[in-house]
Amino acid sequence: MKAVKTSIPGTRQPRRPRLAVAKFASCDGCQLTLLNLEDELLAVGDALEVTYFPEASSRMRGGPYDIALVEGSISMPEHARQLAELRKQARVLITIGACATAGGIQALRNWADLESYKRAVYPTPAYIQSLRTSTPISEHVSVDFELWGCPIDKQQLLRVLTDVLAGVQPFLPAHSVCLDCKRQGHPCVLVAKGLPCLGPVTRTGCGAICPGMGRDCYGCFGPVEGASPGPGIPPNTASLSDHFSSQFHLIPVELVRRFRGINGYLRPFREESHAWESSNKDSDAHR
Amino acid sequence: MTNAIPQILPKSGFPRLIEALRAHHYRIVGPVVRDGALHWDEIAGVEDLPIGWQDTQQPGQYRLERTETTTWFGIVHGPDSIKRLTFVPREPLLTIERKAKKVTVTPQMPEPTPTALLGVRACDVAGLLVHDRIFLQGRYADPYYQVRRDALLVIAVNCTRAHKTCFCASMGTGPRAQSGYDLALTEFEDEFLVSVGSEKGREIIELLELPSASPAYQRQEQERIDACAASQVRGLQEQHRLPQGLYEVHEHPRWETVAHRCLACANCTMVCPTCFCHTVEDHPDLSHTRNERVRLWDSCFTPQHGMIHGKNFRPTIADRYRMWLTHKLASWIDQFGVSGCVGCGRCLTWCPVGIDLTEELHALMRENVDQATP
Ligand code: SF4
Ligand code: SF4
Ligand code: SF4
Ligand code: SF4
């Protein structure tokens, strides 16, 4: 990867790389992580020219952009077109957060009947323009790097910007939450309290926040080792859910809910929830 | 030194031991209960010890409970071996700074406080000696480990109660601390028997002028420790066929069987007193003028561990579990002259799905014998 170094056209005077922060269907929380950088915000401003960031400034300038951070899932008919345009304008496109990377909590509608939702919620459903499914950015355009989490971790955001600016592959470890949970010395809530912690199948990045508060991880950083690992490669969701079923006596509907959350639409979690849904399951049917 | 006659330290006189340690400028770190598990933490005095508490451990499960007893060291151990104090989870190594084209590298050496570690189990003392072999021998002694290790005074507690997960007896590492401690205690109702294991230990205990234990008392001590050994239900009976035996089962179908259960979560390697894999990370700042280089606990179960340029040569869980078990129990012997397992049982207890390495080894080696018999 080439360093994102730029100069003003026709001169050798360097200019700051141009940053765009765009959103689709999302809550804006991940973009706020950028504004929450507080101590580092001035350094970000020194390193990048914030060109397009409606959440922060009404001065919105057009592309091309050196780096685009994209929040949110593709959820409305015009999203796909807007995204394609943004992709053309962006040298490096980085998705931020569970919505952009996995479809988000709104992807729960992928299992539901959209029309009945519209009728239940809106007095005039005809006004509602919505796609039947909510899908991650990577289903529509090529994505250079993905930041996970709901919301993303600010240190990871800073790191990905630092590395992209330096022209190196961003450092984004893909191991389990457990490894960081143990590095930090938290007592394991799964083993010591019998809570159905998803840490073993969840990707690191948050710093093991939930076990640090005595709570079980619910997988907000998505599956360990990514969205489409091959056969025999982690996450081993089947083994973990079998353990929750046989030892902690979770019933199938609880297991479906466990995996069908913020990242429920991603293949490893999606398939696990399907397995328990189609069960009411005799356990052999389940892999 | 170790064959000197043990001495009797009444529990009521224990504060004198603490004073003696303080007089030698040690802070005291001992077992402390926090959030449902045992941890190592600084203690002010006897009152901070988990008196009356006990643990129960089985594969994949750990529970603490208060009992009617007044045992001081009733909890066998928690998730943390003492490696957390010597081979720390996050060790800053150096900082690299660039100012006006000049690059400065500054090592970050730890400056640990002298620490008396109170209540170290025999398996953990054995684990520490394994780490000494790894980090301190030969031309490449690790300075970070060295300074932390030198700051330690090890006060062991011999075990008189074992869990179903413990198998130190079969590994020859316990329940009595074998060597590598400065002082070792065996707990009785109202007193401790104290054995001296080093000159440093002798200097401390001499200050207390304790009476020697009678031969009958020493026999009683041995009986309690023997009973603990006899109560252990697990073991690595195949030990004598290692390392070769495991190399021969490299293609055994059992690796796939265990991979169906294993999560590759790395918990077993984090809690193991001998696992020493680490990664070195650079943490640069946004302006690319300052970089902090740190060493962190790593594990052979992570995707990065088997990553070379463009390819992971241990992609599957089966590959990784085989790597772990074969290194731990076999190639470790070739590499360091000892087994990488001291029989503490932590990897069984703290495995979220309760995978038992003794059972895996039995399955791998038993079926191998069957296959070999016509
Ligand atoms: S608490 Fe959860 S994340 Fe932490 S080690 Fe246990 S299972 Fe893993
Ligand atoms: S512990 Fe799990 S649910 Fe909690 S913040 Fe981290 S990844 Fe998200
Ligand atoms: S391999 Fe398991 S039983 Fe052996 S020393 Fe390590 S944690 Fe303890
Ligand atoms: S053996 Fe257990 S603790 Fe170790 S990686 Fe596998 S599931 Fe995790």
**Rounded Cα gap, residues B130 and B83, in angstroms:** 11
Beta carbon of B169 within 6 Å of any ligand 4 atom: no
Report yes or no: B350 at the A interface, CB cutoff 8 Å.
yes
Per-domain boundaries in chain A:
6-166, 177-285
**Rounded Cα gap, residues A31 and A68, in angstroms:** 12
Please, which residues have CB within 8 angstroms of residue B122's CB and are 6 or more apart in sequence?
A: B156, B158, B159, B168, B173, B174, B175, B176, B177, B178
- 């039947």: which residue's tokens? A132
Of the candidates B90, B263, B287, which has its C-beta nearest A239's C-beta?
Answer: B263
Average pLDDT over all residues of chain B:
95
Q: Residue A209: its pLDDT value, please?
A: 97
> Would you state the structure tokens that stand for residue A182, as one six-digit string?
């143990």
Contact B187, B8 (CB under 8 A): no
Residues of A in contact with B347 (CB under 8 A): none
Strand partners, B186: B193
Residues of A in contact with B281 (CB under 8 A): 171
Report yes or no: A194 at the B interface, CB cutoff 8 Å.
yes
Contact B132, B141 (CB under 8 A): no
Task: Choose which residue among A177, A178, A213, A224 to substitute to test ligand 2 binding: the one with the highest number of ligand atoms within 8 A of its C-beta.
Answer: A177
Contact B187, B71 (CB under 8 A): yes
Beta carbon of A190 within 6 Å of any ligand 2 atom: no
Per-domain boundaries in chain B:
7-230, 237-372
Q: What is the ipTM of this complex?
A: 0.95
Average pLDDT over all residues of chain A:
92
Spacing, Cα A214 to ligand 3 middle (Å): 26
Length of chain B: 374
A196 vs B370, residue with greater confidence: A196
A254-277 burial, b at 16+ Cβ within 10 Å, e below that, comes to: ebbebbbbbbbbbebbbebbebbb
Instruction: For residue A79, give the H/E element and its range.
Output: helix A77-89
Q: Residue B32: its pLDDT value, please?
A: 97
Report yes or no: B291 at the A interface, CB cutoff 8 Å.
no
Contact B227, B159 (CB under 8 A): no
pLDDT in tens, A41-83: 999 999 999 999 998 888 889 889 999 999 999 999 999 999 9
Please, which residues have CB within 8 angstroms of residue B17's CB and are 6 or more apart in sequence?
A: B9, B204, B205, B208
How far from A95 is each of A121, A136, A228, B112, B285, CA to CA, in Å? Answer: 30, 9, 17, 43, 22
Q: Which of A19, A154, A188, A286 to mutate to test the interface with B (most CBs of B within 10 A)?
A: A188
Contact A202, A177 (CB under 8 A): yes
Q: How far is A78 from chain B (nearest CA, A)?
A: 35
Q: What is the pLDDT along chain B (374 residues), one digit of tens a residue?
A: 445 899 999 999 999 999 999 999 999 999 999 999 999 999 999 999 999 999 999 999 999 999 999 999 999 999 999 999 999 999 999 999 999 889 999 999 999 999 999 999 999 999 999 999 999 988 889 999 999 999 999 999 999 999 999 999 999 999 999 999 999 999 999 999 999 999 999 999 999 999 999 999 999 999 999 999 999 999 999 999 999 999 999 999 999 999 999 999 999 999 999 999 999 999 999 988 999 999 999 999 999 999 998 899 999 999 999 999 999 999 999 999 999 999 999 999 999 999 999 999 999 998 555 554 44
Beta carbon of A206 within 6 Å of any ligand 2 atom: yes
Tell me the CATH class for A6-166. Answer: alpha beta
Beta carbon of A211 within 6 Å of any ligand 1 atom: yes
Question: pTM for this one?
Answer: 0.94
**A:110-139 residues touching chain B, CB 8 A cutoff:** none
